[in-house]
Structure 1
């Protein structure tokens, strides 16, 4: 998973992930931001997952939901929760690559650690 962190003109942290992981860009930038308390809560949830105290952790956001389990992480736009019309024209496919992304838990831990250091100014 390739990414970079930058700051916008107002100094807000922005995450930029490669194609296929665009939802992570939005989740880190818009949902998590520089909320150190939420970052700490996520690390605590990861610890609980790894020690098998919990089987899943769900963090609903304003527009994107984060789901952690012992192996994988998924970020999913809430727009995907709306049902598509039952009958679509033949050959029509719904594009959701910018609305959902996933990765392994270990990869997510590395990115989250880097994000924490970036927003903390380390």
Structure 2
């Protein structure tokens, strides 16, 4: 994927995270996301067919970056030490990234979770 296009998608994700943190899912219209990300509303629809798709893909993105941070360790650790290491990394990550923590918590308590399951089944 083109770097410029990837940057726009990440800007859309970051803007959405910030706005959902401040206003919740329903208080965050696509026009506000576009304005905050410095892109046209049509640009968002180039990447995502709907707000629901944006939210689901943002959740997948958040889980991906969270997991990349948590599972950074390369050493061979015993089960107990590995558990502590992963748990501490998770807590550390969410303390440093409150917007992602808040988004994931809202997502799990929302109807978007079912849409994610349907989306993943459809996409394979």
TM range (shorter): 0.3 to 0.5
The alignment's TM-score, normalised by the length of structure 2, stands at: 0.33
Structure with the larger strand share:
1
Please report the TM-score for the alignment, with normalisation by the length of structure 1: 0.34
Structure with higher helix content: 2
